Structure 1
Amino acid sequence: MKTVVIGLLGVQLDQPRKSRDRWNHWRPSVAVCQQDDLIVDRFDLLVERRYSKLAEQVIGDITTVSPETRVQRHDISLNDPWDFEEVYATLHGFCRQYPFEPEHERYLVHITTGTHVAQICLFLLTESRHFPARLLQSSPPTTQRQSRRNSPKSVERHSVGTYQIVDLDLSRYDDLAKRFKQEHDEAASILKSGIKTRDPAFNAMIDRIERVSLATKAPILMTGPTGAGKTRLAKRIYELKRNRRQVDGPFVEVNCATIRGDQAMSTLFGHIKGAFTGANQARAGLLKTADTGMLFLDEIGELGMDEQAMLLRAIEDKTFMPVGSDRPTCSDFQLIAGSNRDLLADVAGGKFREDLLSRINLWTFRLPGLAERRSDIDPNIDFELHQYAVSSGDKVTFNQDARKAFLRFATDPSTKWKANFRDLNAAITRMATLSDNGRITKKLVSEEIVRLRAGWTSSNPNDLSAPLLTECLDDVAIEQIDRFDQAQLSEVIHVCRKHKSLSAAGRELFQASRLLKTRPNDADRLRKYLARFGLQWEDVQQSS
């Protein structure tokens, strides 16, 4: 397989200060063809037409020192060799027309000569495989001694310099691959607040968010139920981009549900002095505050139609009009929007602008609720305990049986987690605060489970099963009862608490079937029913 070098004529490096001294100075294009262990079969030399005389000299010298090398000259035109767009377009056009034969030839792109702009363009075109090649980097010798005779035969080997071939297939470089993986893991850890999440779907979404966040400044829309962690994730995206020097402005957040009407306009877009009654001073507005930074608009679906129109212009044109002003204000920010509403339904109902939704949902990610990520509850418990320790200064842990009991409850499919991670945070905070000597006991866990279930039930008065059962039975006993029997037992307990005796409760519970019996014993039937679940009448009454 033949070796082909593609490179630019070095206007400065390939040209010696004096013609007679050219054999005593390192010239990259000539030196590449003098390496003992690199046989160059063909050198495709790209030459700006105005340097034809220098090109002829370099070509002649290559032929002298390496007769086996055939130099093929390619003339190019550059008005400004420092104009990135022009240089890239010229080199791109060259490689598009070049008759590559990778089955028969191996290609090396020499990136030592040419302007820095040209070197960058050659690198990019090689990395993108427009040049199916590896990079060739040559270096001058550490010292240069004057040769006694000015001829190519007397060139000392130290004037040839060295070279290095770089393969941009980074998968071949174990150390680099490890470093990139480490950076990826660090980025994912930032987005997950350092929590070692286990849910495969969530981890895949975080990986995608990382790629999108670092690759674009386009708006990002995060949907999902309240408490799913949209605000926290938005802050983490900002932290990730700031660490990579992609933003240097502040992180600005606002819950759009808390602002209405003129207040919304002024809060978001600012106002000038005297714009309305009470506007004694000018106000920049949050969009201006977020300039060169990130703006997080949570519950964006709560914005009015006028604010939506202004926001659309601010996203597209980077300009907007403060209230009362006739001069536009500029602000270059990245937008992250959050919503727990169905914005498509709002568009259909005329509550949300279709053009704004089209602009902000280029990248949309739905954050699942806690009930959809039960495998991540365990590591999130550790995270919440750590957060409590940071805020309070007290380290708190679970007793072993207490943690098992809480995890059993937390991961049970019937556990609602209506407020998602806010519920979990509140539960851990309450138990940690009430713990003695930094230990959460099973008793505290049982009390917290009753509290959580009662709170979830209070919003649905027809759902009486959870608190009634937990007040009479422990979690292990409840788990051994079928859901159907749980509902039935809960209703029995509910009726029992309305009466002072077994007989009275039995008469209500067995009102239909007791008519079919000549000698009904309602108290005995009720006693036996409760006994099936290890309960006695006193157990039910004591909890009332």
Structure 2
Amino acid sequence: MKKKTVVLGLLGVHLDQPRRGHDRWAGWRPSVAVCQQPDLVVDRFELIAENRFNTLAGQVVADIETVSPETSVRSHMISLEDAWDLEEVYASLHQFSRDYSFDTDREEYLVHITTGTHVAQICLFLLTESRHLPARLIQTSPPPGNRRKEAASVQGTYQIIDLDLSRYDQLAERFGQEHDEARSILKRGIETKDKSFNQLIDRIEQVTLATNAPILMTGPTGAGKTQLAKRIYELKKSRRQIEGPLVEVNCACIRGDQAMSTLFGHVKGAFTGASSDRVGLLKSADGGMLFLDEIGELCLDEQAMMLRAIEDKQFTPVGSDRLVRSDFQLIAGTNRDLIADVASGRFREDLLARINLWSFRLPGLSERRADIDPNLDFELQQFASASGQKVTIGKEARSAFVDFANDPSTPWQSNFRDLNAAVTRMATLAVGGRITAPLVAEEIDRLRASWQRTQLADSPTSDLSSILGSERVAEIDRFDQSQLADVIRVCRQSKSLSAAGRELFQISRQAKVRPNDADRLRKYLARFGLTWADIQAVDDLGG
């Protein structure tokens, strides 16, 4: 069964008005003309009009029914205080789309965008493009030349526009090219093969181009968070979605007053050494993007100010009583478990909720072994660009390196930093600009030795050995070694014996009326012949 054709259109307050003193059928009137097309049968016309133009709407309804008896017309009256107010007009037409009972199985809909204010036409376009109005667009035009034509030709012409871009091969191809370009920017031009990573990049691209909300990137150190933040900025810049600069800061490198001043700025005289005003990085990022790497290292006071800066887009510099405004997009990076940090009181729950709207975990290199081969070529290209020397790798050498890199036992502890360093070393030592199998073997031995030393340094007993000596550690049960190693780490991170005790006994101390955390900790250390001074002496010596 052929579907009925239904036109939805706005009353044209000026264009649909009959000419005064002339034959009312002699002038081109778009709402009437759309129903006069010889090859377009309009079964129903839904006329949307403001209440104040009720008389004209009634006349247009009567005229359509006169020139096109097969067309039934229904009026929908709406109230608008300002027909040029985008928010008001869109809300009114959006409500119409929600209230209207569409029957797409039996009817085809055309949205007439010739009449109404430009604002109303834009709203109709947006509602059609978003499929709130399940329709195609129809545009009518007057007859060429003098509009005073015979009645038989006064209807002019029309054109139907389908916004389903999937039907337009060239447009679809162009959008596909833009998607590929965006993906290439985010991947630094590397043809990655890991399926899950490519899906992650696609989602990041979608979010990047759709919102300016904060983005949180998690994952191990060296996974590429900093590089990806730069690529996100580059992508938004290329699409003219951002104009200001990219400002980067590693929060692990700033502490105390320095952190406050670095981030939020200060005024002259705010503290000793503040000889002049300082803008601060948040203000420098105004209109651009701020990348806070290792955001989990911020202290609680800095987190509180950062929360206000994100939510209210304003903050107070150190020593000032005046608010400073800065509108930036935030990208935060961390290798910490911020949820665990919230549970321990180390990170503010409200700040995590604010920056965790879009969270993406970047996998380490050991989780993306399929991408080691293309990244090997990329690193060689980077070396050539930096040094001006092109270096290649032989077939046998490549096979040996890739086999080693893909071996599950190869840890890639520092992820892409390890890979970059390895390629840089091999390329630098390559005689005649070619990396050979013996050179690869040498680098493999170097990497394995380096990782072994790191594992030993990171072992639970490394702090014990530096304080007690390896022979004394060997006399302590493994259970006690693990416990004592954790106690020593807390002590080395604390400012005083009491502070370390509060951290170590934070649960059990709540059951005591007068907790003496320092005394409990002092007695525990004494069991192993240690004092607070012993631990601090190692730190003073750089141990």
The answer to whether TM tops 0.5 is: yes
| Corresponding position: 1:43 with 2:45 | yes
Please give the per-residue CA displacement for 1:467-508, whole angstroms capped at 9, x wherever unaligned: xxxxxxxxxxxxxxxxxxxxxxxxxxxxxxxxxxxxxxxxxx
Alignment correspondent of 2:244: 249
What amino acid is aligned across from residue 244 of structure 1 in structure 2? R
What amino acid is aligned across from residue 414 of structure 1 in structure 2? S
Larger-Rg structure: 1
1:19 deviates by: 4.9
| Corresponding position: 1:79 with 2:81 | yes
* 3-state SS of paired residue (1:164): strand
| Corresponding position: 1:300 with 2:295 | yes
Alignment correspondent of 1:216: 211
In structure 2, do the counterparts of structure 1 residues 22 and 231 end up closer, same or farther at CA, with 3 Å as the change threshold?
A: farther
In structure 2, do the counterparts of structure 1 residues 72 and 460 end up closer, same or farther at CA, with 3 Å as the change threshold?
A: closer
CA distance in 2, matches of 1:25, 1:212: 50
* 3-state SS of paired residue (1:459): helix
What amino acid is aligned across from residue 208 of structure 1 in structure 2? R
| Corresponding position: 1:102 with 2:104 | yes
CA distance in 2, matches of 1:274, 1:12: 66
Alignment correspondent of 1:467: none
In structure 2, do the counterparts of structure 1 residues 284 and 65 end up closer, same or farther at CA, with 3 Å as the change threshold?
A: same
Instruction: Name which of structure 1's ranges 111-120 and 323-332 shifts more when overlaid on structure 2.
Output: 111-120
CA distance in 2, matches of 1:76, 1:309: 47
Pairs within 5 Å for 1:106-145: 106-144=108-146
1:230 deviates by: 0.2
| Corresponding position: 1:12 with 2:7 | no
CA distance in 2, matches of 1:461, 1:90: 68
Alignment correspondent of 1:514: none
CA distance in 2, matches of 1:155, 1:65: 10
In structure 2, do the counterparts of structure 1 residues 318 and 405 end up closer, same or farther at CA, with 3 Å as the change threshold?
A: same
Query: Is the contact made by 2:218 and 2:362 (CA closer than 8 Å) also made in structure 1?
Result: yes
CA distance in 2, matches of 1:55, 1:241: 46
In structure 2, do the counterparts of structure 1 residues 145 and 111 end up closer, same or farther at CA, with 3 Å as the change threshold?
A: closer
Query: Is the contact made by 1:3 and 1:41 (CA closer than 8 Å) also made in structure 2?
Result: yes
Alignment correspondent of 1:516: none
CA distance in 2, matches of 1:180, 1:105: 30
Structure 1 length-normalised TM = 0.80
1:25 deviates by: 4.1
Query: Is the contact made by 2:28 and 2:147 (CA closer than 8 Å) also made in structure 1?
Result: no
CA distance in 2, matches of 1:451, 1:18: 94
| Corresponding position: 1:155 with 2:151 | yes
Structure 2 length-normalised TM = 0.80
CA distance in 2, matches of 1:35, 1:100: 24
Pairs within 5 Å for 1:301-316: 301-316=296-311
1:280 deviates by: 1.6
* 3-state SS of paired residue (1:100): coil
In structure 2, do the counterparts of structure 1 residues 435 and 19 end up closer, same or farther at CA, with 3 Å as the change threshold?
A: farther
CA distance in 2, matches of 1:329, 1:142: 58
Pairs within 5 Å for 1:457-496: 457-461=452-456
Query: Is the contact made by 1:47 and 1:55 (CA closer than 8 Å) also made in structure 2?
Result: yes
Query: Is the contact made by 1:136 and 1:165 (CA closer than 8 Å) also made in structure 2?
Result: yes
| Corresponding position: 1:392 with 2:387 | yes
* 3-state SS of paired residue (1:437): helix
Please give the per-residue CA displacement for 1:183-217, whole angstroms capped at 9, x wherever unaligned: 22211111111111111111111111111112222
Please give the per-residue CA displacement for 1:341-363, whole angstroms capped at 9, x wherever unaligned: 11122222221112111211121
Query: Aligned residues: percent identity?
Result: 72
1:237 deviates by: 0.9
1:95 deviates by: 2.6
1:239 to 231, 234, 237: 234
1:371 deviates by: 0.9
Instruction: Name which of structure 1's ranges 384-393 and 219-228 shifts more when overlaid on structure 2.
Output: 384-393
Alignment correspondent of 1:175: 170
CA distance in 1, matches of 2:231, 2:142: 46
CA distance in 2, matches of 1:293, 1:103: 48
Query: Is the contact made by 2:247 and 2:281 (CA closer than 8 Å) also made in structure 1?
Result: yes
In structure 2, do the counterparts of structure 1 residues 67 and 461 end up closer, same or farther at CA, with 3 Å as the change threshold?
A: closer
CA distance in 2, matches of 1:372, 1:19: 81
1:59 deviates by: 3.1
Unaligned runs of 5+ in 1: 148-153, 464-544
Alignment correspondent of 1:539: none
Unaligned runs of 5+ in 2: 459-543
Query: Is the contact made by 1:299 and 1:339 (CA closer than 8 Å) also made in structure 2?
Result: yes
1:236 deviates by: 0.8
Alignment correspondent of 2:514: none
Please give the per-residue CA displacement for 1:340-389, whole angstroms capped at 9, x wherever unaligned: 11112222222111211121112111111111100000111111111112
Alignment correspondent of 2:161: 166
CA distance in 2, matches of 1:429, 1:193: 18
| Corresponding position: 1:267 with 2:254 | no
What amino acid is aligned across from residue 395 of structure 1 in structure 2? K
1:24 deviates by: 4.8
CA distance in 2, matches of 1:461, 1:95: 67
* 3-state SS of paired residue (2:292): strand
CA distance in 2, matches of 1:93, 1:145: 36
In structure 2, do the counterparts of structure 1 residues 81 and 449 end up closer, same or farther at CA, with 3 Å as the change threshold?
A: same
Alignment correspondent of 1:371: 366
